[in-house]
Chains A and B, each alone.
Chain A
Amino acid sequence: MHIPDGYLGPQTYVPLYGVSIGFWAIAQNRIKKQLSLKHIPYLAMAAAFSFLIQMFNIPIPGGTTGHAVGAGIIAILLGPWTAVMAVSVVLIIQAVVFGDGGITAIGANCFNMAVVLPFASYGVFRLVKGKSEGGPRLAVAAFLSGYLGLFVAALFTAVELGIQPLIATGADGRPLYAPYPLSIAIPAMAVEHLFPFGIAEGLVTMLLLKYFLKHEHDLVYALSGPSKTG
């Protein structure tokens, strides 16, 4: 889901830089209000975790590869705004140091994986969990949160790539940037993120939430609510 340099034209990557910068500004503000010093080590670990989980490329035999992002579990444990910051840090390091995702596409990639993904995950989790504080319903909520969060982020990515042929073509009529139209990009990204990549994000979210509930129940942001943290 890391869009490389060249796949998005400036008409797309410039506005998405703007959107991401806007979210960073709000995130900075929220984090200031919500987080205390005891959270900082967890914030660092969250970023490190997201970095590492993304290195585990999952193969579709004879096809493409993909990976979980870990943004869903970070949003549940530390709150969606903290996830915005943690995952953005990871994506910027990946782009600058490792060439994973383009420099021009940092705004787009951060929007998809560090904004859309954690907020979609967090929303699904709160919605499915309802009033339950444990048990199988919480596990289902966590799984779906990761699963659907990654799927929605993949759809956003697919739309950004798929509109490129509509936005910019050369004198010869050929696309200037990402070449495949929406009718190809959306199904391709949707299907592989429903299976298998979304399953991976779902399982990571579910298993880690279970672990944290057992060992550090009070830390879990989505269960304590924003008012009680910090």
Chain B
Amino acid sequence: MTTFQKKLWIGLLIMALLTPLGILLPETFNAEDAWGEWGIDKLEKLLGYVPEGLKKLADIWKAPISDYNFGGEGASKAVQVLSYIASGLLGIGACVLVVFIISRLIVRHGK
């Protein structure tokens, strides 16, 4: 690994440690979900009903770490913040693993 690459990896780790800003800032400024990414409850409030097809598809997949939160919906602030950092680190690991597997399959060696 070159010194330059080492610096970049350190930069990525620092980013992972700072990720909780991404949940704390929206909370500070009372900002809610992204447009078009509301949950079922929020949709019901906005529309007065939940579109039928949407309701059927909405829970088709149960993500193991839903919303980057290990603690589930009622998790404390501390758990949310730590979950977010852990998710960031896990995300780095998953990206590296998948990219290396794909690269092994498609990038020719000895080039």
Residues of A within 8 A of B (CB): 1-7, 9, 28, 31-32, 35-37, 39-45, 47-53, 55-67, 85-86, 89-90, 93-100, 102-104, 157-158, 161, 168, 170, 174-180, 185, 188-189, 192, 215-216, 230
Contacts and interface: CB of A to CB of B under 8 A. Distances in A.
A103 B32 contact: no
Given A48-B12, A64-B33, A176 B100 contact: no
A158 B37 CA distance: 12
B54 interface: yes
A89 B52 contact: no
Nearest to B85: A55
A61 B63 CA distance: 29
Given A32-B106, A40-B103, A48-B91, A58 B98 contact: no
25 contacts: A6-B54, A6-B57, A32-B106, A36-B111, A45-B8, A47-B96, A47-B99, A52-B15, A52-B19, A55-B84, A57-B25, A57-B26, A64-B33, A89-B98, A90-B95, A95-B61, A97-B64, A98-B87, A103-B61, A157-B36, A175-B51, A176-B53, A178-B54, A189-B35, A192-B35
A230 B63 contact: no
Interface string B57-76: 11111111111100000000
Interface in B33-57: 33-37, 43, 47, 49, 51-57
Given A96-B63, A161-B36, A178-B36, A6 B107 contact: no
Contacts, number: 210
Contact of B1 (A6, A41, A50): A41
A198 to B, nearest CB: 14
Contact of A98 (B9, B33, B37, B63): B63
Contacts of B51: 6, 170, 174-179
B68 A52 contact: no
Nearest to A57: B22
Contacts of A41: 1, 5
Contacts of B78: none
Nearest to B99: A44
Contact of A31 (B21, B22, B90, B106): B106
A103 B25 CA distance: 28
Listed residue (B28, B35, B53, B56) with the most chain A CB atoms within 10 angstroms of its CB? B35
Contacts of A175: 51
Contacts of A42: 5
A104 B60 CA distance: 8
Nearest to A160: B36
Listed residue (A31, A52, A67) with the most chain B CB atoms within 10 angstroms of its CB? A52
A136 to B, nearest CB: 25
Contacts of B56: 6
Contact of A52 (B43, B55, B59, B91): B91
Nearest to A89: B98
